[in-house]
A = this chain, B = another copy of it.
Amino acid sequence: MAKAKVPRATTKRLPIYYRYLNILHDQNVSRVSSSKFAKAVQIDPATIRRDFSYFGALGKRGYGYDVNQLLRFFKKILHQDHLVNVALIGVGNFGHALLNFNFHQDSNVRIAAAFDIKPDIINTVQSDVPVYSMKDLVSQLREQQIDVVILTVPAKAAQNVCNLAIKGGAKGILNFTPVRLASPANVRIQNVDLTNELQTLIYFVKRYD
């Protein structure tokens, strides 16, 4: 498969496609029309065709999509065909919730290690995940070969912990802190700012009141 540059917007839709294909598969549906597919995922058919085109032609005119073929395809694209271990750094309220939150219910992601500075939870198991001391962050990430981390530390610690994670080999950081992290070009930071999401929503609702 050619490694063409895939737009970020396309990439963000891939898990949506994948999830719906799984639902269809569970319902023993083997073929789906492009219009039904579009309606279910709430993305217009032209966008879907364009998205799919980055990975080669995946539909046939007048036939629709072959569910099993697409599913195998996206499984590979999204690395769902093997388990991905990630680490969670910062076991506060929100971090704890993410440990409980079942990422791998319909995905292949597993939180394999958590890190914190609180002595009372270091060396305990929280929601089936071992909690290590922050002092061991670099060595544990290296030893467990974890290159994707979830950052849920307080804002004031964010950049420092981010630097340590990168030293430990992190190449991807899902950043739940409000801090805009500085990082080398080969490390991808994905920001999830829940306050921001809520404020944006409120802005739209109040603006068009």
- Binary per-residue interface labels of chain A (169-202) against chain B in the complex, 1 for a CB within 8 Å, 0 otherwise: 0011110001010000010101011111111111
Report if A41 contacts B (CB, 8 A): yes
A93 with B103: CB separation less than 8 A: no
Q: With A101-B93, A201-B148 known to touch, is A194 a contact of B192 (CB < 8 Å)?
A: yes
Chain B min CB distance to A77 (Å): 7
Measured between alpha carbons, how far is A119 from B16 in the docked complex, in Å? 34
Q: Which of B78, B197, B202 contacts A79 (CB 8 A)?
A: B202
A199 with B148: CB separation less than 8 A: no
Report if A84 contacts B (CB, 8 A): yes
Report if A97 contacts B (CB, 8 A): yes
Q: With A93-B101, A109-B195, A196-B16 known to touch, is A201 a contact of B172 (CB < 8 Å)?
A: yes
Report if A42 contacts B (CB, 8 A): yes
- Binary per-residue interface labels of chain A (148-176) against chain B in the complex, 1 for a CB within 8 Å, 0 otherwise: 10100000000000000000000111100
Binding site for B on A (CB under 8 A): 3, 11-12, 14-16, 18-19, 40-42, 77-79, 84, 86, 93-94, 96-98, 100-101, 103, 105-107, 109, 147-148, 150, 171-174, 178, 180, 186, 188, 190, 192-209
Q: Would you give 28 A-B contacts (Cβ < 8 Å), ordered by A?
A: A11-B203, A14-B199, A15-B193, A16-B180, A18-B199, A41-B180, A77-B203, A78-B203, A79-B203, A94-B97, A97-B97, A97-B100, A103-B194, A103-B198, A107-B198, A107-B199, A109-B198, A109-B199, A109-B202, A171-B209, A172-B204, A173-B201, A174-B197, A174-B201, A186-B208, A188-B204, A188-B205, A190-B197
